A and B are shown apart, each in its own frame.
Chain A
Amino acid sequence: MDMTAAILATVVTAATPLLLAALGELIVEKSGVLNLGVEGMMLAGAVGGFIAASLTGSLLIALVAAVLAGMAMSLVFAVLVLGLRANQVASGLALVLFGVGLSSLAGQGYVGQSLGAAWRLFPESWREIPFVGPALLAHGPVVYLSIALVPLTVWFLYRTRAGLILRAVGENHDAAHGLGHDVVRTRTLAILWGGALAGLGGAYLSLDYTPMWAENMTAGRGWIALALVVFAAWRPWRLMAGAYLFGGITILQLHAQGAGFGMPSQVLSMLPYLATVAVLVIISSNRSRLSLAAPGSLNKTFHPPA
Chain B
Amino acid sequence: MLTLEARAAPSAALSILAPVVAVGLTLAAGYLLFELLGVDGGRALFVFFVRPVQDLYGLGELAVKAAPLILIGVGLALGFRANVWNIGAEGQFALGAVAGGAVALAAHGVEGWWTLPAMIAAGALGGAAWAALPALFRTRFNTNEILTSLMLTYVGVLLLNYLVHGPLKSPDSFNFPESRPFGDLALLPVIVEGTRAHLGVLLAPLAVLGGWFVLARLHLGYQIRVIGLAPRAGAYAGFSQRRIVWATLLGSGALAGLAGVAEVAGPIGQLQPAISPGYGFTAIIVAFLGRLHPVGVFFAGTLIALSYLGGEFVQIELGLPLAVTGVFQGMLLFFVLGCEVLVRYRIRLGGARRAVRGGAT
Residues of A at under 8 Å CB distance from B? 36, 76, 79-80, 84-87, 89-91, 93-102, 104-105, 108, 215, 220, 223, 226-227, 230, 264, 266-267, 269-270, 273-274, 276-277, 280-281, 284-285, 287, 290, 300-301, 303, 305-306
Residues of B at under 8 Å CB distance from A? 3-6, 80, 85, 87, 133, 137, 140-144, 146-148, 150-152, 154-155, 158-159, 161-162, 165-166, 281-282, 284-285, 288, 321, 323-331, 333-334, 337-338, 340-341, 344-345, 351-361
Bound CA–CA A265/B265 (angstroms): 27
Q: Is the CB of A80 within 8 A of B334?
A: yes
Question: A290's contact among B6, B142, B146, by CB below 8 Å, is which?
Answer: B142
Knowing A85-B341, A227-B151, A273-B155, the reply to whether A104 touches B326 (Cβ < 8 A) is yes
Note all chain A residues with C-beta closer than 8 A to B142. Answer: 284-285, 287, 290
B86 vs chain A, min Cβ distance (A): 11
Note all chain A residues with C-beta closer than 8 A to B150. Answer: 220, 223
Q: Is the CB of B154 within 8 A of A98?
A: no
Q: Is the CB of B333 within 8 A of A266?
A: no
Q: Is the interface of B mostly helix, strand, loop or mixed?
A: helix
Knowing A98-B330, A101-B323, the reply to whether A277 touches B151 (Cβ < 8 A) is yes
Knowing A101-B326, A277-B152, the reply to whether A300 touches B146 (Cβ < 8 A) is no
A-B contact count (CB 8 A): 164
Q: Is the CB of B147 within 8 A of A93?
A: no
Knowing A223-B147, A266-B161, A306-B351, the reply to whether A301 touches B361 (Cβ < 8 A) is yes
Question: A98's contact among B282, B288, B333, B351, by CB below 8 Å, is which?
Answer: B333
Q: Is the CB of B355 within 8 A of A94?
A: no
A198 vs chain B, min Cβ distance (A): 16
Note all chain B residues with C-beta closer than 8 A to A90. Answer: 80, 284, 288, 333, 337
Knowing A93-B284, A280-B143, the reply to whether A300 touches B361 (Cβ < 8 A) is yes
Q: Is the CB of B337 within 8 A of A230?
A: no
Q: Is the interface of A mostly helix, strand, loop or mixed?
A: helix
Q: Is the CB of A101 within 8 A of B148?
A: no
Note all chain B residues with C-beta closer than 8 A to A269. Answer: 158
Bound CA–CA A102/B146 (angstroms): 23
Note all chain B residues with C-beta closer than 8 A to A80. Answer: 334, 337-338
Bound CA–CA A101/B282 (angstroms): 12
Note all chain A residues with C-beta closer than 8 A to B351. Answer: 306
Bound CA–CA A226/B9 (angstroms): 35
B48 vs chain A, min Cβ distance (A): 14
Note all chain A residues with C-beta closer than 8 A to B137. Answer: 277, 280-281, 284
Question: B148's contact among A94, A102, A280, by CB below 8 Å, is which?
Answer: A280
- Additional A-B contacts beyond A36-B146, A303-B357 (19; CB < 8 A): A86-B337, A89-B85, A94-B285, A94-B337, A97-B281, A97-B329, A98-B334, A100-B330, A104-B321, A105-B327, A264-B165, A269-B158, A273-B151, A273-B155, A277-B155, A284-B137, A285-B142, A301-B361, A306-B351
Note all chain B residues with C-beta closer than 8 A to A274. Answer: 151, 155
Q: Is the CB of A270 within 8 A of B148?
A: no
Tell which of A76, A79, A273, A300 has the most Cβ of chain B within 10 Å: A273
